[in-house]
A and B are shown apart, each in its own frame.
Chain A
Amino acid sequence: MVNSQVINDGQAHGQQHPIGLYLKVWALLFVLSTLSYLVDILGFTGYLRGFLIITFMLLKAGLIMCFFMHLYWERLALVYTILMPPLALLVLMGLMAWEADYIFFIRTIFFSP
């Protein structure tokens, strides 16, 4: 009974946070998007380009999930349920990347024009 009271209480109030916080996150997302666009405009190449693209991407994704999607304030049971399963995708990505060199090598021998 006590538990459901808590849930209902949370339901009535929901996720309420100061509006200034949302505006700051919004501004920060604009800045980060501009920076990631500049990576292309300024013509960075190689590992530096990859590093910058991934850094800005992860920062933007983190801001959206933490503050716009309120994960920063949710309980850890829910947060881990959402964030852990996608790690399996990293395994698939690793496997595909591992195979890529071999497939490319075979194709250059048998299929290249």
Chain B
Amino acid sequence: MNSHTQTHFDAHASPRGWQAIRTDWSDDKATFKVPASKAMMWFFLLSDTFIFGCFLIAYMAVRSTTTLAWPNPSEVFALTIGGHELPLILIAIMTFILISSSGTMAMAVNFAYRGERNKTCVLMLLTAALGLAFVGMQAFEWSTLIHAGVRPWDNPMGAAQFGASFFMITGFHGLHVSAGVIYLTIIALKVKSGRYEKSGNYQNVEIAGLYWHFVDLVWVFIFAFFYLW
């Protein structure tokens, strides 16, 4: 494509329908000097930022306007281990598990670009396993609160908005972790099968990594605002 064909653009000669959309997007102009799949993952994560951002702002709005008492998360999420009541311990363990999974994911990306596909596959599956452990602990947390009578519309400990915020925010995050576990497992199996070694391009591992680190990033904000505040 040279500039001549662009200045004399003929709408009638150009393709129509889906083909037109495809040719327009694949026009010979590049803004982002990264592969398209990586840019698209970033745009998806940007839109996800708005979803989680709006959830957290809604939580701030209902918490700061309710006239009823807000339960103390430090006590609600405490566990008794060996006769000691440890405040917020379950959430702390979940935080460390998720950070560790982010660490193993970063290692997996590193080994992928070195072409060590067995190590990459093992590290990705380890990441997925840690994610699964996280979801398991979240399921435990949910059932504990449900047994205590907390519902999205009701909360015996005070403000009903606590239940709504808790189930909405942690539920949506847990859904992201669950989807990430499936996503990582699929990519890990593709690494194992030698698919990326054949194409000589391990970019998909890095892109899966972006998604996983984002899930960890969101948890940093949820941990700070919902559990610690």
**A contacts, CB < 8 Å to B:** 3-4, 6-7, 10-17, 19, 22-23, 25-26, 29-30, 33, 36-37, 39-41, 50, 53-54, 56-57, 60-61, 64-65, 67-70, 74-75, 77-78, 81-82, 85-86, 89, 92-93, 96-97, 99-100, 103-104, 107-108, 111-113
- 8 contacting pairs across A/B (C-beta < 8 A): A3-B33, A7-B30, A29-B103, A37-B95, A65-B213, A78-B34, A82-B46, A86-B49
Q: Are A57 and B224 touching (Cβ within 8 A)? A: yes
Q: Are B103 and A22 touching (Cβ within 8 A)? A: yes
**B contacts, CB < 8 Å to A:** 30-35, 39, 42, 45-46, 49-50, 53-54, 57, 60-61, 64-68, 74, 87-88, 92, 95-96, 99-100, 102-103, 105-107, 109-110, 113-114, 200-203, 206, 209-210, 213-214, 216-217, 220-221, 223-225, 228-229
* Docked complex Cα distance between A69 and B61 (Å): 30
Q: Are B61 and A96 touching (Cβ within 8 A)? A: yes
Q: Are B64 and A112 touching (Cβ within 8 A)? A: no
* Docked complex Cα distance between A17 and B35 (Å): 19
Q: Are A107 and B217 touching (Cβ within 8 A)? A: no
Query: Which chain B residue has the least Cβ–Cβ distance from A106?
Result: B65
Q: Are B213 and A64 touching (Cβ within 8 A)? A: yes
* Docked complex Cα distance between A97 and B110 (Å): 43
What's the least CB distance linking B198 to chain A, in Å? Answer: 14
- One of A11, A40, A86, A92 near B203 (C-beta < 8 A): A11
Query: Which chain A residue has the least Cβ–Cβ distance from B107?
Result: A22
The secondary structure that dominates the A interface is: helix
- One of B30, B92, B200, B228 near A3 (C-beta < 8 A): B30
- Given the known interface contacts A22-B107, A89-B50, the answer about A104 and B64 at a Cβ–Cβ threshold of 8 Å is yes
- Given the known interface contacts A16-B113, A40-B88, A53-B229, the answer about A61 and B65 at a Cβ–Cβ threshold of 8 Å is no
Q: Are A78 and B203 touching (Cβ within 8 A)? A: no
Query: Which chain A residue has the least Cβ–Cβ distance from B223?
Result: A36
Q: Are B107 and A65 touching (Cβ within 8 A)? A: no
* Docked complex Cα distance between A31 and B102 (Å): 15
- One of B67, B113, B216 near A64 (C-beta < 8 A): B216
Q: Are A57 and B54 touching (Cβ within 8 A)? A: no
* Docked complex Cα distance between A61 and B228 (Å): 16
- One of B57, B99, B102 near A89 (C-beta < 8 A): B57
* Docked complex Cα distance between A14 and B229 (Å): 39
Given contacts A22-B107, A40-B87, A86-B46, 17 further A-B contacts (CB under 8 A): A7-B34, A7-B35, A15-B206, A22-B106, A29-B99, A36-B223, A36-B224, A37-B95, A57-B220, A61-B221, A64-B217, A64-B220, A69-B217, A81-B42, A92-B54, A97-B60, A103-B65
Instruction: Please indicate the chain B residues that have their CB under 8 angstroms from the CB of A107 in the complex.
Output: 65-67
In the complex, which of the residues B67, B113, B213 has the most CB atoms of chain A within 10 Å of its own CB atom?
Answer: B67
Instruction: Please indicate the chain A residues that have their CB under 8 angstroms from the CB of B225 in the complex.
Output: 53
Q: Are B95 and A19 touching (Cβ within 8 A)? A: no
Q: Are B99 and A14 touching (Cβ within 8 A)? A: no
Q: Are A40 and B57 touching (Cβ within 8 A)? A: no
What's the least CB distance linking A111 to chain B, in Å? Answer: 6
